[in-house]
Amino acid sequence: MDRWQGKVAVVTGAGSGIGATIAKDLHHEGMCVVALDLCGNRLEDIRNSIAFEERSRFYIKCCDVQDEEQVKEAFAFVESELGGVDVLVNNAGIVKSTELLKLDNTADIKLSLDTNVLGVVLCTREAFRSMKERGGDGHVVLINSTAGHITPNIPELPSLNIYPATKYAITSMTEVYRQEFSRHGTKIRITSVSPGAVDTEMFPDHLIDKIRASMPMLKTKDVSSAVLYALAAPPHVQVKFK
């Protein structure tokens, strides 16, 4: 991680779970971190958990990734305060409790699509522009899922509805981004990390104990370690992951 010392990382969905762990780990590795999430106390709580003398490298910003204006505002903040972006971790994602067949479920389905897919497009677009202006180097990480490669059937869970489809989209987008980054003549790398079930609050409280009993679950630190491994690879190495 030496090459990233003092560089700027933006992490979406950083208010809890995987995103919070990644944000804190990147900060611990010496990066300036901008943690993005919905407005609330969680970002402030995470920042307050960092030693006071180290907080100057940890920034928090309210941002709903499905809202284009909020995304543009967040990256404009990064540009003005820190000069731009070097690493983007697209982590924000949701699972809504519905079924594809359920009547009047449009709002829930659209929210999943806009957060899990459109949010990645918006954030990556803004980060790419910044990385290119800073010399054409950088790294974009997409937090994908094994559900983006094979659709799971978990009896303990209600329907996963549109969630696997959003992650299949991320799998395809990873390769599209790799091709586009290359066509633009940059050295920006792309990595998709696809964990299985991770023990986070994404799973409802009334189901989490059943899931833990039925299968091994990853910890958020396991996913963060994979991200750090990809970032630590030499610049000529493309770590894609599946």
168 within domain boundaries: yes
Q: What is the mean pLDDT of the chain?
A: 93
Residue-number span of the structural domain to which 81 is assigned = 2-232
What's the mean pLDDT in 219-233?
96
241 within domain boundaries: no
CATH label of the domain that carries residue 91: 3.40.50.720
Q: Respond yes or no: is residue 163 known to be catalytic.
A: yes
Beta strand 87-90 pairing with 58-62? unpaired
Residue indicated by tokens 């586009």: 180
239 within domain boundaries: no
204 pLDDT more than 70? no
136 within domain boundaries: yes
210 pLDDT more than 80? no
Q: Which of 163, 168, 177, 229 is catalytic?
A: 163
Among 7-16, 29-38, 152-161, 187-196, the minimum mean pLDDT is found in: 152-161
27 pLDDT more than 70? yes
242 within domain boundaries: no
Model confidence band, residue 50 (pLDDT cutoffs 50, 70, 90): very high
Model confidence band, residue 32 (pLDDT cutoffs 50, 70, 90): very high
Structurally, the chain folds into a number of domains equal to 1
91 within domain boundaries: yes
Quote the pLDDT of residue 141. Answer: 98
71 within domain boundaries: yes
